[in-house]
Structure 1
Amino acid sequence: MRVIIQSNYERVSQWTASYVVKRIREFNPTPRKPFVLGLPTGSSPLGTYKELIRMHKEGLVSFKNVITFNMDEYVGLPKEHQESYHSFMSNNFFNLVDIQKKNVNILNGNANDLSKECNEYEQKIKKAGGIDLFLGGIGPDGHIAFNEPGSSLASRTRIKTLTYDTIVANSRFFDNDITKVPKTALTVGVATILDAKEVVIIINGHKKARALSNVVEAGVNHMWTVSALQLHPKGMIVCDDEATVELKVGTVKYFKDIESANLEPKSLLKQ
């Protein structure tokens, strides 16, 4: 597992976006052979999306032959609601790049049969050839997508009840009113994420330091679902200095030393 440590969130976003662009360009997608990208919502990827939009406008990348699958969506929240993940993705990314609407896939939290919706989502991913790169973020408790602590590491796309901590954390998007936050969501499973050919996780800020320490220095544990990244042959964490405060000094030094030639975002596009 690679750990890329950057000085701050801005650098994390620049590096992550550059890495995504590098992978898309190396793949050289076509209509018959599209690049399949897994995407998250929340605050963690916002900087990365802004950088991807900038790089698209500068002609460094096209999303015309990219298929996307988002990680999750609230149950019962209308797609048009400003806090739905459909709206989030449209406003913060899709409407600002050249991706084709037919290539965008987001779970439907208002489907008549939610279990069927989840099963069909898994089939869509398989039909697309699997996910080439899954980009994700985590919560302070180490949950990835809505795979809360205690989730099976063999889980697939399903309906999930959100923990109280997650509801409280997400209430900042709902006028700080926890009664407005949906209590359930549809989410890809841990195994769905691990099926991707490559997984890149953004971890930033001191509030996620404990989660990072459990991912990097502890074992695989279903109470920290992102720790399953250790099982992936091409797993990567991109984090800032704030998130490393609970790591051992030697651990930080090791990863900074071993990745010292790869820390400059612009250099990724020259390789």
Structure 2
Amino acid sequence: MKRIITDDAASLAETGARQLAEALAEEPALVAAIATGNSPIALYERLAELRAAGEVDAGQMTAVQLDSYIGTPDDDPRSLWDWMRRAFVAPMGLTDAQVLRFAADPEDPEAECARMGTELEAAGGLGLAVVGLGPNGHLGFNEPGSAPGALTRPVELSPESLQSNAAYWQGGIESVPRRAMTLGLAPLLSARRILLVVSGAHKHEILRRAVEGPVSEDCPASWLQRCPQATVIADRAAWEGA
């Protein structure tokens, strides 16, 4: 795993956007998993600026939804798809045909996850995975206990994930759906490039645990230590805890 420590959140966004732009230049038909959450948002904004300036061409890429709450239709304010659409898909000018996403509220989540896995495999797998770092070390919604071979699947959210996500929605923790669908660690860890984007002093302890601690299911992000194609981009606040 490579490490890039930036001075602040703005330089993190610039560095991350340039990394993603480089991946698109090298692989125009890039298939990329796109995380939501606060850490990568400024990165996407900067990437959209580069596109508007003619420095990035996203016309052939495919954006893949990383995770989705079960039971939240597209017009639900908690929809992770709507967040992804607003943060990445629309600013990058992607069409519906350029998006691989979970059905909003499938009758059979197991079958829906199997479909996502099959379609992703047919697309050649992930050229890039952009992921954030959960408070308990989860990647996507691969919670502690997830093995590196875990496939795309429905999951039960941990108490830490429920508490973390409660900050995004009105109604607090009781408003957070308890179940979700997530790309598994197997497709994420096999991506040809992986960007772990981490911002803020509140992520310091779990970041150090992920990057320097024991590699185990207790901290799913620690599996990235075994991925030479992975790069962690963190601002100094996250790295130093200040």
TM-score in same-fold range (> 0.5): yes
TM-score normalized with structure 1 length = 0.86
8 Å CA contact retained: 1:109, 1:186? no
* CA distance, structure 2, for counterparts of residue 218 and residue 179 of structure 1: 33
Alignment partner, residue 190 of structure 1: 185
1:76 to 59, 71, 75: 71
Shift of 1:226: 0.5
Please point out which of 144, 148, 154 is paired with 1:149.
Answer: 144
Query: 1:236 is paired with a residue of what secondary structure?
Result: strand
For 2:48, the aligned partner's letter is I
Corresponding residue number in structure 1 for 2:22:
22
The 5-angstrom pairing of residues 251-266 of structure 1 reads none
Query: Which of the two has higher C-alpha Rg?
Result: 1
Structure 2 residue aligned with 1:227, among 204, 222, 230? 222
What is the CA–CA distance in structure 1 between the aligned matches of 2:119 and 2:228, rounded to whole Å? Answer: 23
Q: Secondary structure at the match of 1:24?
A: helix
User: For each residue in 1:75-131, what CA deviation from the matched residue of structure 2 results, as whole angstroms up to 9, or x when unmatched?
Assistant: 001112222111101112211222221110121241111111111111111111111
Q: Please list, as runs of the form range in 1=range in 2, the aligned pairs for 1:111-190 lying within 5 A after superposition.
A: 111-190=106-185
CA distance in 1, matches of 2:35, 2:105: 19
2:17 maps to a residue whose letter is A
**Counterpart in 1 of 2:8?**
8
1:239 partner amino acid: A
- Asked if structure 1 preserves the Cα contact closer than 8 Å seen for 2:63 and 2:98, the reply is yes
Per the alignment, residue 267 of structure 1 pairs with none
Structure 1 residue 176, shift from structure 2 partner: 4.7
Give unpaired runs (5+ residues) of structure 1.
247-271
Aligned partner letter, 2:208: S
* 1:239 aligns with one of 229, 234, 239: 234
**Shift of residue 156 of structure 1?**
0.7
Q: Please, what TM-score do these two structures have when normalized by structure 2?
A: 0.95
**Aligned position for 1:205:** 200
**CA shift digits 1:41-99 (9 cap, x unpaired):** 11111111111111111111121100111210000011122221111011122112222
> Of 21, 45, 49, which aligns to 2:40?
45
Q: Deviation per CA, 1:141-189, whole angstroms, max 9, x where unpaired?
A: 1111001112222211111111112111111111152111100100011
**Aligned twin of 1:101:** 96
Q: Which amino acid aligns with 1:73?
A: S
Q: Distance in 1 between matches of 2:145 and 2:104?
A: 22
Instruction: Tell me if structure 1 keeps the 8 A contact 2:74–2:82.
Output: yes
Deviates more, 1:140-149 or 1:94-103: 94-103
CA contact (8 A) 1:64 1:99 kept: yes
SS of corresponding position for 2:126: coil
Gapped runs of 5+ residues in structure 2? Answer: none
The Cα of 1:228 is off from its aligned counterpart by 0.6
> Sequence identity of aligned pairs in percent?
27
Distance 2:190 2:26 in 1: 20
RMSD over aligned Cα atoms: 1.5
In structure 2, the residue corresponding to 1:4 is in which secondary structure? Answer: strand
